[in-house]
Amino acid sequence: MTEFLTQTSWWVPFYGLIGGVLTLPWSIGMIRRTGPRPAAYFNLLMTVLAFVHGIFIFQNTWRQEPQKLVFHWLQAVDLDLTFTIKVSGVSIGATLVVTGMSLLAQLFALGYMEKDWALARFFALMGFFEGAMTGLALSDSLLLSYALLEMLTLSTYLLVGFWYAQPLVVTAARDAFLTKRVGDLLLLMGVVALATMAGGSLDFPDLYEWAETAELSPLTATLLGLALIAGPTGKCAQFPLHLWLDEAMEGPNPASILRNSVVVACGAYVLIQLQPILVLSPVASTALVVIGTMTAIGASLVAIAQIDIKRVLSHSTSAYLGLVFIAVGTQWTGFALLILFAHAIAKALLFMSIGSVIVTTNSQDITEMGGLWSRMPATTTAFIVGAAGLIGLLPLGGFWALRQGVDIYWHSHPWIVGVLLVVNALTALNLTRVFRLVFWGEPQAKTRRAPEVPWTMAVPMVSLIIVTLLVPVMMQRLSLLPTWALIDKPALLLLWLSGVVGCGVGANIYLHKAWSRSLRLPWRLLQDVFGYDFYIDRLYYLTVVFAVDRLSKLNAWIDRYLVDGLVNFLGLATIFSGQSLKYSASGQSQFYLLTILVGATVLGFFILWPIISVLNLEFSRFI
């Protein structure tokens, strides 16, 4: 039985894809009488099967030696392109997180999108989304991982642009797709280079073996490392490819639940797998740390100035993924995995909570809300538990994940400890600010009669509350928590204090709902800098977009006036000469011979003229 489960582990990604295919008769309108809900039920059923199958595999593979399943895709001469799957406790555990989050998000979507006319199409895209993510969790081949990352890029484009009748949604989907394509294109260059240098095999174990003995020039190693980290940088919304995640919030909230919890984690998971190759380039490792630090602190500052409730949380996603980049750049992948696990569950719960707020108030502006704690107790509890599970407050998962990072860097990199504490404090301040504006205070016009969400949304939300509270227990069962004797007490106290200070400042700063910008000029300027993401989008417009626009216009001018002009000139010359020659056609052969003779004479004169000139010059010198 164990052998059968192991050999069929590759089925897990196909459950979601099959669910997406089963929804097609409803998605394309072949079946209309039943409405779109049967399509959602088919997709939910396949996700349940994937989750249950994953549980059985996990029970039989935990603490066992990893096993490989190899599928040969293309064999030609010395080239052997394979799709390799790794069956281990970590990979199967990752599929459980993906399928579990997908199941809860789809249940939540049944209530959130109950009246949407394109419900079947949404669930088809969610199945496609799920299949790509579970495949990434199992992949042990860079080639397969790259193909699945491309599937994620396409899925993001389709889900962000789900409500395509809105112009802003179309723009957001286009920008998200193009931004991620920049990283994907650079990653493809790295994949092709690795296939050439490593002997053709793109399986991660073979690449690790090659990296141990590889001798690359500093320039080659640097270019290879930067190309490999470009793809995860785009997928994880890291600087400078981070603006897409903010715009992706135009899509449906159930898709945002997955996008901000496990989709960005998939890009980071690929980066973790690439870490043994990235050590070949110290520049690439340093770049990871720099990118992660800039994004972690910058995104945390930007988040505290946002008034759109979804964008508030999307920027904190970029910040926490920045910590993962720092961990990979300093070769502490265990800390990176722990951050991904704790962040995914807590952030999914936060997005469920704000999704409930959005669906009952029909607003995403936190300055228009207030007083929801007494009207939506389950939603309020979900937000509090999710916030506590994300930041460094005892005893939930976020605290233990950050504590490991503080312990690791306490002596070797104290400044990284400072980054962790600053990010933790700013996140605590930001979430406390949101709680005060949305759930605390006096009810506003849009929240005065807001009801609690229906059971289709409440059940997955309450279930995820329980899972978030049990994260420390799961960490303990997986031997991820330290014993009390090994805990660094000063570091633990400092982390706890950073969370308390952040919550304290967030609870006491002055918040006024009458305006979204401060009336004092210095604070207003600072708020605008954070609110507009340090004006990075405008900087791109003045540099990259401006350069591309001018270059495109120059190419258009060259094509129109030089290329087309030359072709048109030749055409006009041919027409003019032809029209002119027709009047000289007399039909007399002697006239034609005379024309040929004159033409040959003129041609011969031009050919012989340089020779005659040289001979004349030499003759003059002789005389």
Provide the pLDDT for residue 614.
67
Is the per-residue pLDDT at 383 higher than 90?
yes
Q: Compute the distance between CA of residue 92 and CA of residue 90 in angstroms, rounded to an integer.
A: 6
Provide the pLDDT for residue 517.
57
Q: pLDDT higher for 198 or 577?
A: 198
Is the per-residue pLDDT at 512 higher than 80?
no
Q: For 216-330, list the strands marked E by DSSP.
A: none
Q: pLDDT higher for 112 or 478?
A: 112
Is the per-residue pLDDT at 518 higher than 60?
no
Q: What is the 3-state secondary structure (H, E, C) of 110-133?
A: HHHCCCCCCHHHHHHHHHHHHHHH
Strand, coil or helix: what is 139? strand
Quickly state the pLDDT bin for 322 (edges 50, 70, 90).
Answer: very high
Quickly state the pLDDT bin for 260 (edges 50, 70, 90).
Answer: confident
Provide, for the chain, the percentages of residues in helix, strand and coil under a 3-state DSSP scheme, each rounded to the nearest 5.
75, 5, 20
Provide the pLDDT for residue 422.
92
Mind listing the pLDDT tens digit for each residue in 65-86?
Answer: 778 888 877 776 666 677 888 8
Mind listing the pLDDT tens digit for each residue in 389-446?
Answer: 898 787 888 888 888 888 888 888 889 999 999 999 999 999 999 998 888 878 787 7
All structural domains of the chain with their residue ranges: 1-140, 141-531, 533-584, 586-623
Provide the pLDDT for residue 394.
76
Provide the pLDDT for residue 610.
75
Percent of the chain residues topping a pLDDT of 70:
92
Length of the chain: 623
Omega into 38 within 30° of 0, i.e. cis?
A: no
Q: What is the 3-state secondary structure (H, E, C) of 74-91?
A: EEECCEEEEEEEEECHHH
Q: pLDDT higher for 497 or 607?
A: 497
Poorest-confidence range of 386-390, 471-475, 587-591? 587-591
What average pLDDT does this structure show over 326-354?
90
Provide the pLDDT for residue 425.
92
Q: Compute the distance between CA of residue 373 and CA of residue 468 in angstroms, rounded to an integer.
A: 20
331 Ramachandran zone, left/alpha/beta (phi>0; psi -120 to 50): left
Is the per-residue pLDDT at 519 higher than 60?
no
Provide the pLDDT for residue 363.
83
Main-chain phi, psi angles of 85, to 5 degrees: -115, 135
Provide the pLDDT for residue 582.
64
Mind listing the pLDDT tens digit for each residue in 444-477?
Answer: 877 778 788 888 888 999 999 999 998 888 888 8
What average pLDDT does this structure show over 276-287?
89
